[in-house]
Amino acid sequence: MNSTALRKFANPLFAGLLLSLTSLLAVAAPTVSLNAPANTSKYLAPATVNVSANATAEAGATITQVAFYANELLIGTDTRAPYSVAWTNAPAGSYVLTAIATDSKGAMATSTARSITITDTNIPPTVALTAPANNSKYLTPASLTVSANANGVEANTPITQVEFYANGTLIGTDTTSPYSISWASPPTGTYTITAKATDSTGGVTTSSASTVTITASDTPPTVTLSTPANNAKYLAPATVTLTASASGVEANTPISQVEFLDGSTVIATLTTSPYTFAWTTATVGTHSLTARATDSGGAVGTSIARSITITDTNTPPTVALTAPANNSKYLTPASLTISANANGIEANTPITQVEFYANGTLIGTDTTSPYSISWASPPTGTYTITAKATDSSGGVTTSTANTVTITASDTPPTVTLGTPANNAKYLTPATVTLTASASGVEANTPISQVEFLDGSTVLATLTTSPYTYAWTTATVGTHSITARATDSGGAVGTSIARSITITDTNIPPTVSLTAPANNSKYLTPVSLTVSANANGIEVNTPITQVEFYANGTLIGTDTTSPYSIAWASPPTGTYTLTARAIASNSL
């Protein structure tokens, strides 16, 4: 390249024009996607599989062809949209189908693959009854719709018919989906309903059965009162909301009406669900309320009665403190949550507010349940906390008081060793399990850590409960074990010490016979229970077995406490019975 040409490339304007020309020459690929057959579809051989695709070229280009492949072998090409081929006489096997689109600029694109299976063995169709519901009942005369879902498993074996049977007798056939027949006026009785689907190759499947009962007598409908609650109380004048749910027992006997009754007096009659009525004329006194449902066949069902009371004297609400706990203590500065449960006695006298008091001074009010306030930074001292609830009619009740103390000095927490037991002995090498329970005295000074100590040496520090530690390095000798708890305010409490001994010489276990009694006599034939108590002296040398002997001969062994054997039919004679205990480290 000469110097003039080099200068042209060095010129920024020329370089920009060259870049634009390069971009125009770049060819964008077309897009292509298969739209048939469905992925993972199945066909029965010999099959005709219709394979189709959508393909789009970029601006300035057109699609010239779409080629279709099965397992990378060409099965057909189409040059005009919509792009499709019919793959005929496809043999049995598993195939991966793709489509490759080529545009007028020579650019190509390959679709995402779809898998299909062609089998030479027809898989029977699927069929399931959708109506009537299993165990449904109908009042005669009845006309039942019997329907089913059915599908051929292979894409080329569609359903040709669905037959419906009652107790094995054909009651109708449908050849088009949705598959359904009308079964008019079946006689009274119980019927087993099935559907039998047949596909285009003769494959047949029968559905699971549903049981249907046709009855000549109308079963009373079911009806339940939902509101009001039984034994509810209302302050007059009251609006009592009555609600009920009802349904006919037979599928063809829907509910025609629901009545609400006060004793034998009809309060309201409703013909459509939801069945609800606002009763505004209830008089002072006790009322027995029921709901009575009538179905389309004229059968009547009545709910269990509910009793309500209308009173003209407001009963004060109930209120009880739930926090803080009575006699609780807090370290200043403290923020206390004070809460209460409160309820109006009458259903129409809800709580309007709960006021909280400390030593008779109002410290907060809440108007919505759950009732609670935050009492921030109360001064040190002892306080009597109460809650006062007011209901919508002005009824007022004050709770029982709880006492709370706010203190300026942190009281040491309490801490107690759980294990090891005092004066426990262990055979070296020993694993000693140390456990402790601890709690801060003030409600706002939780435990921050618990330490286990051997004398003044800290063995372990734990920051979360449960406080437990496996001590594996205890040396031979006597050890004084304590637990030391620190709360969030820095106060420290120490447990009572417990002494344990680690020894390198095993102490034999203890064992004593508990039965039979010494010098006891038995008349043959007899079956004797021979038992013993046995214990390892060291905590880590438990008893592994107890052997029982008669005149020095082993008559039985037990490996679990309580240690006992049954000595069956010993010969006549005098016997010296002994028990021998073996600990886990015995030779």
Q: Are residues 424 and 491 in the same domain?
A: yes
DSSP letter for 476, please.
Answer: S
The strand pairing partners of 435, in sequence order, are 419, 468
Nearest Cα to Cα of residue 434 among 410, 458, 402, 411 = 458
Q: Are residues 383 and 419 in the same domain?
A: no
Residue 20 lies in a domain: no
Residue 537 and residue 304: Cα distance in Å, rounded? 68
Residue 19 lies in a domain: no
Residue 437 lies in a domain: yes
Domain boundary among 289, 311, 333: 311
Domain boundary among 163, 180, 215: 215
| pLDDT on residue 11 | 42
Q: Are residues 274 and 298 in the same domain?
A: yes
Residue 3 lies in a domain: no
Nearest Cα to Cα of residue 500 among 537, 468, 533, 542 = 537
Q: Are residues 49 and 87 in the same domain?
A: yes
Q: Are residues 175 and 115 in the same domain?
A: no
| pLDDT on residue 85 | 96
Q: Are residues 516 and 578 in the same domain?
A: yes
Residue 5 lies in a domain: no
Three-class DSSP category at 3: helix
Q: Are residues 228 and 298 in the same domain?
A: yes
Q: Are residues 133 and 104 in the same domain?
A: no
Cα radius of gyration (the chain):
45
Beta strand residue intervals within 369-509, DSSP E: 371-376, 381-391, 396-398, 402-407, 414-419, 424-427, 432-439, 447-454, 457-462, 467-471, 477-487, 492-494, 498-503
At residue 505, what is the residue type? T
176 burial via Cβ count (<10 Å: 0-12, 13-18, 19+): exposed
Tokens standing for 277?
Answer: 């009525």
Three-class DSSP category at 193: strand
Q: What is the mean pLDDT of each run of 10 residues along the chain (587 residues)?
A: 36 36 56 95 91 94 95 95 94 95 94 94 95 96 96 94 98 97 96 97 96 96 97 96 97 97 98 97 97 96 98 96 97 97 96 98 98 97 98 97 97 97 96 98 97 98 98 97 97 98 94 96 94 95 96 96 95 96 81
Range of the domain at 390: 318-407
Domain boundary among 380, 407, 434: 407
Number of domains in the chain: 6
Residue 56 lies in a domain: yes
| pLDDT on residue 27 | 54
Q: Where residue 492 sits, what CATH number does that domain have? A: 2.60.40.10
Q: Are residues 145 and 211 in the same domain?
A: yes
293 contacts 270 by C-beta, under 8 angstroms? no
Q: Are residues 206 and 131 in the same domain?
A: yes
Nearest Cα to Cα of residue 113 among 98, 103, 100, 95 = 98
Sheet with strand 318-323: strands edge to edge:
318-323, 335-343, 371-376
Residue 527 lies in a domain: yes
Q: Are residues 340 and 399 in the same domain?
A: yes
Q: Are residues 579 and 517 in the same domain?
A: yes
Residue 85 lies in a domain: yes
